[in-house]
Structure formats: structure tokens, C-alpha cells
Copies of this chain bind each other. A is one copy, B any other.
Amino acid sequence: MITAHQADPTEDLRRERSQASFPSRELAALMAGGEAQLKLRERIADAVRADPVFSKKGKYFMERADLYRTTLEKYLALPRLATAIDPNDPITVGKIIRELIDEPGGLDLHLGMFIPTIQGQGDEEQRKHWLPMCTKLQIIGTYAQTELGHGTYIRGLETTATYDAEKEQFIIHSPTLTATKWWPGGMGKTSTHAVVMARLITHGRDRGPHAFVVQIRRNEDHQTMPGVTAGDIGPKMGYNAVDNGFLRFDHVRVPRRAMLMRYSKVDPDGTFHPPPVAKASYGTMVFVRSDIVMNAALYMKKAVTIAMRYNLVRRQSNPGGEKASGGVGQKGLELQVIDYQHSQRSLFPILARAFAFHCTSDFMRRMYFRYEKVSTRKGDFSALPELHATSSGLKAYCSWATKDAIELCRLCCGGHGFMMLAGFGTTFGNYAPNATYEGDNNVLCLQTARYLLKVARAVAKAAARGGDVRDAEEGAQGTSAYILEGGGGLEPGCQLGKSVGLRDTEAALGAFAHAARRQILAAASRAGTLGADAAMSRDMVAWIKAAKAHCAYVVLLNFVDAVAESKPRVSSATAAVMDRLVSLHALATMDDNMGDFLEDGHVSADQAAAIRAEVAVLLAELRPDAAALVDSFALDDYFLNSALGSHDGDVYRRLYDEVQSAPFNASHVPPGYADLLHSRLIKGAGRSRL
């Protein structure tokens, strides 16, 4: 009856790999952008693992100060290593090293926001002045926009920069408690400088928020500058290697040229010149959001790799019992947890979605570059509204899904998933704020919704004119073109499992398009002639839901397209697996939101049941490839940093060994033992042994 010790997790994982139906290396190369890219990544991971300064040993046991310091050390060591690996392209290598380090630190805002803002918004002289100091870390900056009282509503920022023409200075001031800058990363302790978003006031007039470079700490000794109060906002649910901070100004004077003047300008006499074009910077936001979607894919991959590997080696209950996907377990051995259907139903759709997000991020990036080309070369900005709207929604859709996926992966690992050594805790903690920063997800969905309302209205107008709804096309570009289709109320029902098979991706796409279109048009019709603000405000929940349905369609569209595009380049075995992933993604997403498809009868009850059944069939088909599929993400053990998710599957040995060095085990008594416990326990001596 003692069964567990007969099982060998490393052997389990080896066997699982050997039974895969496709070569995982091939898929890995495809995902990485080619075998050379994959090799480069492996070489970088080897180098990082070999360098003690990058070690993650003991990381999960670290208190905040150590976590901060060791993360900073890694960032400081990065340029040297990147250059050593590839002197010709240290930037690309550096990006990969940062991904491997997988911990935002005190320099993140300096690299990710302070430098880019000066690059983007500083004039040439300002760039020349600041950037060399930035790259040498002679100054460290942050980006201080959010205040205690304002995040989403930037126009409500309260910090002021009042121009004093006499002295040619701005007076930066925090007039209220809620004007306190709050949240900027690296502002707590690390930074000497900040780009401060402050309400510019010249000639007594409020010109709205502008960017100012302000020194907040002295280079000599890191003391705050006169009039500046700054500090750390304390621990958060994650992100604790970053010193998010607060910052207050008491009439701090800075020279006129502290204002970044590439677009807006203030003359010495205080004359204000507004920026020539406002929306030009929206393109950058699209790029940033494609990055967030890329990260969504990455963290989904990470979580599901850990959970899948552990579910493949964890054996629990039902020795020799029946497996979900058919057959029975090995005699005397408990079932691998992945052979319970609920584990498969949780993990395999996450796996598929990770691929889908990967393709979506690729797509967004390509769209961005295409837009950049036509907008700069031909001055054609027409793609921007759709691009901007869809990328807003995708940021929200993908970051929500990823956050939830990380948590579901953890739950699939039972108690051990709750240990920090499993890796889910920090993954969730560091990932979760993606739903909030760079635009709160609900607010972003409403931006998408506003665009969808506009398109719906254009469609209605064209239809009312009796003309072809394609006249509305200018409003419905790219991924939103589907809104124009089937608008005549004569749409046939979904054909999945009827005239076409359940795995027909065109029919699935049609169903997603139909569900999104139906919700958009219904909400638009409820809106009547209301202004967009009022329409959003009265029917906000429905609009957010419609935006999500739109994004679900776009993700599937990108996934289908990407797979179709890459299938010719891979073996038929790999192509078959990719087809299964697309179908699983489509059908499981439908199953999860079946009400949206059933409501107007587009999908019938029989079809719903058939879709559910087909999901089960797909789970069974994908089961033998579970190990190989997560291998194809090619995530290095160093990156994963998980006792449950390592490549070799040796989970119990690793858990046991790693906890031995937990700080609590440095002493054999607990904190407070002498004061609190000893005097009581000593009285039990003698009688306590029975």
C-alpha cells in the first residue's frame, strides 16, 4: 500500500517527454523567432547562471532590504555581462538578461520611463545634457505622475509649476495633501531626479500637466534637496524590490529649462507655446501595450510551465485508477494529478491561451511598425483610432486573464503551490499591478468601447442612408471590420458541428465575431442618441463586457492567422498540435462564456453540449503532449526559479533541500522563545513524555 516512494518524479517527466507526438524543439524555435534566437537565449541563460552576482539562491527567503539590494546589484552587473556576451548588440542581450532576472528593481523607472521621457519630450539640448549622465548612472531618475489623489484622471493632478518670469524659474509646489506624488518606482530611496508631471501655470493661466526634470536628492550624499520631502511608501503585495515612493514640494525653484520643451515651450518672458500635434504620442502607447501583452504571454507561460510540470509528477489518490483521458494508471501507483479532468480543464486552456497571447503581441508589434511607417512616411494616421482602441482593450483583456491564470495554476498545485518556493507568490505579486498601471483595465475597456460605439453608429448611419454598410468602413478598420458584417439581422446560426466540424476555426471566429457584434450593436442601440460620456456612464458594465468580447475575437483572430501563417514552416506533427491548441482555445473560451453565445440562439443547446464534449476530446488529445508543450516555451530554470517547475521534475528533493537554509532555520528556537515560551515549557519537563 505504500506507493509514493515507488514513484520517481524525474522518471515520470522523462517518460512524458518521450511520448510526445511532436518535436518540442521545433516549436520552441518557432516561438523564439528561429533556432539562432533560441540558441542565443540559451547561451545567455548559461552565462547568467554561471555568474554568482545573478544567483537567485535564497531569494524567496529575503527580507525587503536584501531583495532590494541584490536586485540592484544584478541590474548594475548587467551591462558588463551583456557586453561580454555580444559586444555588438548588448542592448538585445541586456533585454533578455532583464527578462531572466525577472524582478523589477530600483532602476526600472530610470530605464523604462525617465530616460525614454527625456528622449521623447526633451529638446536636443536637454537630451544632450541629461542622457549621458543617465547612461553612466551619474543621475538616477523616475517618472512622477500619479499623486495620492490622482491616478486615472491626469487632468486632475494638483502639483503646480508656476512660472516666475523675473527669475526665469518655475516654482514646483504641492498645494495639498492629495497633491503628494505617490507610487513612482525608484522614488522611495534610489532616485536623485524625477520627471515630475505638474500643472504648468504661466501668466496666471493653467496650461495643464507638463513634464519637468527636477532634482530631488543631492548627488553628494543623497540628502533630499531643500523643499523636497521624499520617502518610500512601504511594502506592497508584490514589486518589493522596487522602492515606490512619495514626494512633496514646498515651493521648490527650478530653472526654466527644467521643463521638457520638445513640444510645449515657455519663453523666458513666460509666453506659452502649446504643442503642435497632440495625438502623435499615441503610437508609443500602442508599442508599450504590445509589450504588456507580450509579458502577459510570458507570465502565463511561466505559471503554466510550473503547474504543468508539477501536475505531471505529482501523484495523488486512486492507485491504478481510471484516467480522465482513458486508460488506467500504473498498478500500485497513484494517478498523476494531470490525469484528473479538472486539472486538464484548468491548465490546458491556459497553455493554449499563452500561445494565443504570444501571437497577439507579435501582431500588435507588427501593426505598430506598419502604422509607424505609413504615419511618418505618408502622414497617414487613419489606422490610429482602431489601433489605439484595440490595443487598450487587449492590454486589459490579456492582463486580467494572465493574473487569473497565475492564481488558477497555483490552485492546481494544492498546498505546495502556496509556498514561496513554488514561485507563484512573487509571479502573481509582481504581475498583478499590470491590471492597474499603464491605465486601469476597466478605464481602458471603456476607451475601446467608445471606439466601438463610434463604429456602431457609423454602421447604423450608413444603413439608415439605405446605402451599403461598407460605407462606414472608414470607421471600422482592421480588427473591427467584422462589425460591418452580417448587420442585416439575417445572420445564420453558428455552423460549428453542423455544416462544418467543431474544429472549424472560421466558424469559431464567426461565433466570436457574432457575439461581440451583437453586444456592441445592442449597447449602441440602447445608447440611442446619447453622447458617448452618458452612454458609457449609464451602461458601463455592458460596454466593458462588449469591449472584452471584441478583444476575445481579436485574440482568436491573431491566433488563427499566426498558426495558418507558420504551419507551412513546421512538421506536420507540430502543425497538428498547433491546430489542437487553436481549437481548444476557441472552444474552451466559448464554453467559459456560453451564455453570450446561447442568448440569441446563435449557438443551440445541442451545440453547447457538443462544444463541451469536444473540449474534453481535445484535452485527451493534448494530454500526451503536455510536457513537450511547456518545454516549447523554453523557459530556463533560472527564470522559473521554482521548486515545483524545474525541468528535471525533482520537486521533493528540491523542496526539502531548499527549506533547510530558510532564515527561520538558522536558530533551533523561534523568535521570542526565551522571553515568551521557555519559562512555561520548562514546567512540562519530565511529565511530557508519557
Contacts and interface: CB of A to CB of B under 8 A. Distances in A.
B234 A690 contact: no
Contacts of A669: 189, 222
A63 B65 CA distance: 10
Contact of A411 (B137, B138, B140, B436): B436
Given A4-B149, A656-B148, A671-B65, A418 B222 contact: no
A540 B683 contact: no
A504 to B, nearest CB: 21
Q: Which 8 A-B pairs have the closest CB atoms?
A: A138-B684, A595-B595, A189-B670, A594-B595, A234-B662, A5-B176, A341-B540, A219-B685
A565 interface: no
Contacts of A421: 234
A392 to B, nearest CB: 15
A199 to B, nearest CB: 7
Interface string A57-84: 0001101111011001100100000000
A75 to B, nearest CB: 9
Describe A's contact surface by its main secondary structure.
mixed
A682 B136 CA distance: 11
Given A106-B670, A258-B690, A317 B233 contact: no
A3 B206 CA distance: 13
12 contacts: A63-B64, A65-B671, A138-B687, A148-B656, A153-B317, A153-B318, A182-B655, A189-B667, A231-B665, A237-B424, A322-B533, A340-B537
Residue of A4, A66, A158, A424 with most partner-chain B CB within 10 A: A4
Contact of A342 (B5, B73, B239, B544): B544
Interface in A116-152: 129, 133, 136-140, 146, 148-152
Nearest to A208: B1
A664 B189 contact: yes
Interface residues of A, number: 162
A87 interface: no
Given A342-B442, A537-B322, A688 B237 contact: no
A29 to B, nearest CB: 34
A364 interface: no
Interface in A539-574: 539-542, 544
Interface string A231-269: 111111111000100100000001101100000000000
A182 B255 CA distance: 62
A156 B322 contact: no
Contacts of A246: 656, 659
A414 B151 contact: yes
